[in-house]
Amino acid sequence: MKKKFISLTTCLILATTLLIGCGDKTTSTNEGGEKNTQYTIGISQFAEHSSLDNCREGFIAGLADAGIVEGENLKTMYDNSQASMDQASLIANNFVQKKVDLICGIATPSAMTAYNACRETDIPVVYTAVSDPEAAGLTKGNVTGSSDVLPVKEQLAMIHKILPNAKKIGIIYTSSEENSLSTIKKYKELAGEYGFEIVEKGITTASEVGIAASDLVSKVDCISNLTDNTVVSALQTVISAANEQKIPVFGSEIEQVKDGCLAAMGIDYFALGKETGALAAKILKGEKTAAELPFITSEAAEFYVNTGVAEKLGITLDPSYLPQAKESFGN
Amino acid sequence: MLEVRHLDKYYNPGTISELCLFSDFNLIVEDGEFLCVVGSNGSGKTSLLNLIGGNLSLDGGGIFFHGEDITKQKDFLRHRRIGRVYQNPGAGTCPGMSILENMSLADNKGKHYGLGRGINKQRIPYYKELLSGLNLGLQDKLDGKVSSLSGGQRQVLALLMATMNPIEFLILDEHTAALDPKTAELVMELTQKIVNEKQVTTIMVTHNLRYAVDYGSRLIMMHQGNIILDKGKKEKAGLKVEDILGTFNEISIECGN
Amino acid sequence: MILLRSVLEQGMIYAIMALGVYITYKILDFPDLTVDGSFPLGAALTALMIRGGVNPLLTMPACFLVGGVAGMLTGLIHVKLKVRDLLSGIIMMTALYTVNLQIAGRANLPFYDNNTVFDNAFVSSIFTGVLYPYRTLVISFLLMLVVKCLLDGYLSTKSGFLLRAVGDNDSIVTSLGLDKGTVKIIGLSIANALVALSGCIFAQQQHFFDISMGTGTVVIGLASVIIGTGLFAKVTLFRITTSVVIGAVLYKACVAIAISYVEPVNLKLITAALFLLILVLGMERKKKVKQSA
């Protein structure tokens, strides 16, 4: 009897914790009164990742610009699913239970689980850092957001300008990352216009980056690094393998240039988040519904350069090109 | 008839610790014979059983069941004709399953293990009858897990399970060694009863010289991979422990125990 | 309510996977990592079939079969090629990664607008009004119940007895004149069939497949089995499979509690702490039972 008692009590306690705890938070937001000016949003981020963090900060800044300021008339709840799909789903349902006014999903899996959790509610979902919203099925329904698709054309133009004699561009990607696959497809489509040939190397885990890089550097004139999460996590390996052969690595983001890429033409994730925040503000204020707003793609491709790396590799940069850089690093 | 012909077996062949266990070893066990095997430690008694059962592979020679060469046959196929009880009482039963489940499992040996019900209710009275013959009260604990039984009870159950079905050979690998003297006695009596009833060809390895003398129809003593004493039916009938004790002590001392 | 409902839904769906892990881990004593690959295998096949217009009900037997094949291959690698258990699982898990990508054709495949076992005309006609939000819970509970009863039934057949015997004491299977390797292969097949089925149902609940769906599946499965069997080991009221199901729900509850109360950075730590707490509670009891026995 006693055994059953303990077992059953454990279950009961867990169940009530789930029920009561959540009840508390809901009432506090509901009894806040002025529902028109007081907003609660939930942010579900898929993984710990500096680009995604920048997105989140940009998103909150974008809301603030539109007069929805955290701590004043905005309460944000933030959860990170640590790259686990089932947790992403629980996080989204948790936000739904707390009756937030909007859920922001950062990165594709979080966006998709959030959309799935909200489909039977009237909670709008705004996503960011989803590279292909069309393919992810996030273009219909009470959902909108922004795509972080890379400015491939601008990247190719930049490489052509810095290395006019280069023929082959190497790219390492993870076969499981949809954004990398779609970017490479675009690279191949556009490479011909600049007389480039794309050499790709697919990997599955971060530990394979080193092998792929040392194989690639003997076959190409330069390496272009995308926003592939796995490859980015081992970017230093790629850079040191390439620099040993005096081959430059191009990046897709400011952080990558700081880390030793020669130059980058990329999206500013903070700016992307900010634009997304503006989108969310329109929905919160009731100006437009999410269904009415099409998703946006970051227009501004920003150029970053690292002159220190150029010097080390013995590459002379066109002096007229340098001032176009949004930021320039010298390490 | 079970034949072991020109058997060679080495341990760690090709290494510095190479050990020749058997070299041109021969043994014939006639149908219906109850062979007791005694010998010093490391004399190859248990290895012999493992070679016959297929748990060990041999390096030369052959093993024949009724003239059929089974040297290359997989262990589980050989066990379709062999019933076997091990020294460890846990090895012959499934501790996590009930007595009834264990007996049902053994009862189905030789038949198809398909999606039919695991327990045939009509057989339960038969199991109870088998168990009540032991006077251990096991017939009232059919649903109890085997893990709750004592070592002796488990060994008795293992013996029953090994002999429930028609088998050609019964192999007993020091099956009383881990039991207290009283239980060991009981197990030996049961062994004798089963062997008598089934007229099954039996090989029993034992450390207990008295059992080897009191039971069985033939006795061999092994030492360093050789048979140094072989007492057949007539000679064995009048055999006493004292008659073989001398030889046994001699080989045991040689081995340092 | 929504979070509790979501915990129960996921608990039911993951319980099917946990039952598979129960077969390998508890019955066969085989630490099978294939699970991390066979769970998304079910999800990938489901996404492909549903997008292709196949009746969602058919995805379940299909995933069960394909998962069974995956488990069988793990078994063959282990038994016939004599590769260690852990490694066989790792090899299959690695291979399945590519297979899953090939099946789905991409790393992420949504099917928001297609019918699933949870969303179709028949379901909508039964679950009307206030009942509608509970359809996923009810259906996943029923599916889990069917799977659990079938598994219970199987474990009491002759073949099921053998499966239990091989994990308990594999020399007995040899003694019965049967190949213990074959029995292991059957066990691994059934286990991974269940895991793939669970992945199939999870994908239908989430309306998409993603290649990373399988990451950590084996951990969730093991945790569910250990919590369930640890906490309810001596409660004779339940069958052991029932304990595993409850274990899966409790594990999900731990995660959900951590999500709703804890800062994101501390999430995993708190989940681990809750997990440990439940285990210790279970152990405490076991000791008492032993003393009184």
Where do the domains of chain A lie, and which CATH numbers do they carry?
Answer: 38-149+271-297 (3.40.50.2300), 152-267+301-329 (3.40.50.2300)
State residue C267's pLDDT score. Answer: 76
Interface of A with C in 104-163 (CB under 8 A): 108-109, 112-113, 115-117, 119-120, 135-138, 140-141
**DSSP-based three-state secondary structure for B110:** coil
Six-digit token string for A21: 């705890």
Total CB pairs under 8 A between chain B and C: 82
**DSSP-based three-state secondary structure for A9:** helix
Backbone angles phi, psi at B51, to 5 degrees: -70, -40
User: Strand A296-297 and strand A168-174: pairing?
Assistant: unpaired
Six-digit token string for A101: 């006014």
Q: Does A28 touch chain C (CB under 8 A)?
A: no
The pLDDT confidence band at residue A320, using thresholds 50, 70 and 90, is confident
From its phi and psi, is residue A294 left (phi > 0), alpha (psi between -120 and 50) or beta?
beta
Report angle CA B184, B186, B191 to the nearest 5 degrees.
95
How far apart are the C-alpha atoms of B193 and B199, rounded to whole Å? 10
Give long-range contacts, CB 8 A cutoff, 24+ apart: B63-69.
B63/B2, B63/B3, B63/B4, B63/B5, B63/B7, B64/B1, B64/B2, B64/B3, B64/B4, B64/B5, B65/B1, B65/B2, B65/B168, B65/B169, B66/B1, B66/B2, B66/B168, B67/B1, B67/B3
Query: Chain B: nearest CA to C168, how far in angstroms?
Result: 6
State residue B161's pLDDT score. Answer: 93
Is A178–C107 a contact, with Cβ atoms under 8 angstroms apart? yes
- For C26-44, the pLDDT digits (tens) are 899 899 999 999 999 999 9
Mean pLDDT of A317-323: 86
State residue A259's pLDDT score. Answer: 87
From its phi and psi, is residue C186 left (phi > 0), alpha (psi between -120 and 50) or beta?
alpha
Is C253–A137 a contact, with Cβ atoms under 8 angstroms apart? no
Cβ–Cβ < 8 Å for A133, A149: no
How far apart are the C-alpha atoms of B213 and C234, rounded to whole Å? 48
Residues of C in contact with B119 (CB under 8 A): 156
- High-pLDDT (> 90) share of chain A, %: 55
Cβ–Cβ < 8 Å for B218, B236: yes
Q: Identify the residue with better confidence: A300 or A222.
A: A222
Is C212–A109 a contact, with Cβ atoms under 8 angstroms apart? yes
Cβ–Cβ < 8 Å for A173, A226: yes
How far apart are the C-alpha atoms of B228 and B103, rounded to whole Å? 40
Is C177–B110 a contact, with Cβ atoms under 8 angstroms apart? yes
Interface of A with C in 203-262 (CB under 8 A): 204
Query: Chain A: nearest CA to C39, how far in angstroms?
Result: 12
User: Strand B218-223 and strand B34-39: pairing?
Assistant: parallel
How far apart are the C-alpha atoms of A234 and A281, rounded to whole Å? 36
Block residue for tokens 């006695």: B185
Exposure pattern of A281-311 as b/e (b: 16+ CB <10 Å)? bbbbeeeeebeebebbebeebbbbbbbebbe
Neighbour-count burial of A218, counting CB atoms closer than 10 A to its CB (0-12 exposed, 13-18 middle, 19+ buried): exposed
- Alpha carbon A326 to its chain centroid, in Å, reads 20
Cβ–Cβ < 8 Å for C34, C238: no
- For C197-210, the pLDDT digits (tens) are 999 999 999 999 99
Mean pLDDT of A179-183: 86
From its phi and psi, is residue B14 left (phi > 0), alpha (psi between -120 and 50) or beta?
left
How far apart are the C-alpha atoms of A37 and C1, rounded to whole Å? 26
Interface of C with A in 127-146 (CB under 8 A): 132-133
Is A112–C215 a contact, with Cβ atoms under 8 angstroms apart? no
State residue A7's pLDDT score. Answer: 66
- High-pLDDT (> 70) share of chain A, %: 89
- Asked if the model's pLDDT at residue C280 lies above 90, the reply is no
Residues of C in contact with A138 (CB under 8 A): 110
State residue B14's pLDDT score. Answer: 79
How far apart are the C-alpha atoms of C92 and C72, rounded to whole Å? 10
C-alpha neighbours within 13 Å on the C-beta side of residue C185: 16
Six-digit token string for C79: 């038994």
C-alpha neighbours within 13 Å on the C-beta side of residue B126: 11
Query: If you write DSSP's letter for every residue of C94-163 in order, what string do you get?
Result: HHHHHHHHHHHSSSEEE-TTS--SSSSHHHHHHS-GGGGGGHHHHHHHHHHHHHHHHHHHHHTBHHHHHH
Q: Tell which residue, A104, A190, A200, has the closest CA to residue A151.
A: A190
State residue A239's pLDDT score. Answer: 92
The beta-carbon neighbor of C253 closest among A4, A18, A181 is: A18
The pLDDT confidence band at residue A1, using thresholds 50, 70 and 90, is low
Q: Identify the residue with better confidence: A16 or C184.
A: C184
Query: Chain A: nearest CA to C21, how far in angstroms?
Result: 17
- Amino acid present at C157: T
CA-based radius of gyration for chain C: 19
State residue C149's pLDDT score. Answer: 95
Mean pLDDT of B227-243: 83
Cβ–Cβ < 8 Å for C245, C15: yes
Measured between CA atoms, the residue of chain A closest to residue C14 is A86
Backbone angles phi, psi at B52, to 5 degrees: -65, -40
- Asked if the model's pLDDT at residue C268 lies above 90, the reply is no
- For A298-317, the pLDDT digits (tens) are 776 889 999 999 999 988 88
Mean pLDDT of B219-233: 88
The pLDDT confidence band at residue A24, using thresholds 50, 70 and 90, is very low
Other residues' Cβ atoms within 10 Å of the Cβ of residue C78: 24
Is B94–C180 a contact, with Cβ atoms under 8 angstroms apart? no
Q: How far is CA A188 from CA A176, A209, B2, C106, in A?
A: 19, 21, 74, 18
Element (H, E) at B220: strand B218-223
State residue B17's pLDDT score. Answer: 79
The CATH code belonging to domain C2-113+127-213 is 1.10.3470.10
Is C97–A93 a contact, with Cβ atoms under 8 angstroms apart? no
Q: Tell which residue, B55, B62, B45, has the closest CA to residue B226.
A: B45
Measured between CA atoms, the residue of chain B closest to residue C172 is B92
Six-digit token string for A119: 């489909």
Q: How far is CA B158 from CA B54, B91, B97, in A?
A: 20, 8, 13
Q: How far is CA C177 from CA B169, B203, C180, C204, C254, in A?
A: 13, 19, 9, 44, 46
**DSSP-based three-state secondary structure for A36:** coil
Exposure pattern of C172-183 as b/e (b: 16+ CB <10 Å)? bbbbbbbebbeb
Mean pLDDT of A211-215: 90
Element (H, E) at A171: strand A168-174
Query: If you write DSSP's letter for every residue of C23-43 in order, what string do you get?
Result: IIIIIS----TTHHHHHHHHH
State residue C67's pLDDT score. Answer: 98
State residue A82's pLDDT score. Answer: 84
Exposure pattern of A254-273 as b/e (b: 16+ CB <10 Å)? bbbbebbbbbbbbbbbbbbb
The answer to whether the complex's ipTM is over 0.95 is: no
Q: Does A76 touch chain C (CB under 8 A)?
A: no
Backbone angles phi, psi at B231, to 5 degrees: -110, 110
Q: Does C254 touch chain A (CB under 8 A)?
A: yes
* Residues 6+ away with beta carbon under 8 Å from C232: A7, C238, C242, C243, C246, C247, C282
Mean pLDDT of A119-129: 93
State residue B43's pLDDT score. Answer: 83
Query: Chain C: nearest CA to A60, how far in angstroms?
Result: 17
State residue C282's pLDDT score. Answer: 65
Of the ranges A219-228, A295-304, B74-83, B86-95, which one carries the lowest mean pLDDT score? A295-304
State residue C54's pLDDT score. Answer: 95
- For C156-204, the pLDDT digits (tens) are 999 999 999 998 888 899 999 999 999 999 999 999 999 999 999 999 9
Measured between CA atoms, the residue of chain A closest to residue C230 is A7
- Asked if the model's pLDDT at residue A22 lies above 60, the reply is no
Average pLDDT, chain B: 89
Report angle CA B127, B133, B137 to the nearest 5 degrees.
80
> Could you tell me which chains touch chain B, where touching means 3 or more CB pairs under 8 A?
C
- What are the boundaries of each domain within chain C? 2-113+127-213
Q: Tell which residue, A58, A223, A204, has the closest CA to residue A128.
A: A58
Backbone angles phi, psi at A9, to 5 degrees: -60, -40
CA-based radius of gyration for chain B: 19
Is C2–A116 a contact, with Cβ atoms under 8 angstroms apart? no
* Residues 6+ away with beta carbon under 8 Å from A177: A228, A229, A230, C107
Most confident of A48-52, A300-304, B213-217: B213-217
- Amino acid present at A171: I
The pLDDT confidence band at residue C108, using thresholds 50, 70 and 90, is confident
Q: Tell which residue, A296, C133, C164, has the closest CA to residue B101.
A: C164
Query: Chain C: nearest CA to A212, how far in angstroms?
Result: 17
Q: Tell which residue, A189, A308, A171, has the closest CA to residue A250.
A: A171
Name which of C90, C132, C260, C271 to mutate to probe chain A: the one with the most chain A Cβ atoms within 10 A of its Cβ.
C260
Q: Does B143 touch chain C (CB under 8 A)?
A: no
Element (H, E) at A84: none
Is C98–A178 a contact, with Cβ atoms under 8 angstroms apart? no
- For A97-107, the pLDDT digits (tens) are 999 999 999 99
Measured between CA atoms, the residue of chain A closest to residue C262 is A79
**pTM for the structure as a whole:** 0.85
Residues of B in contact with C157 (CB under 8 A): 114-118
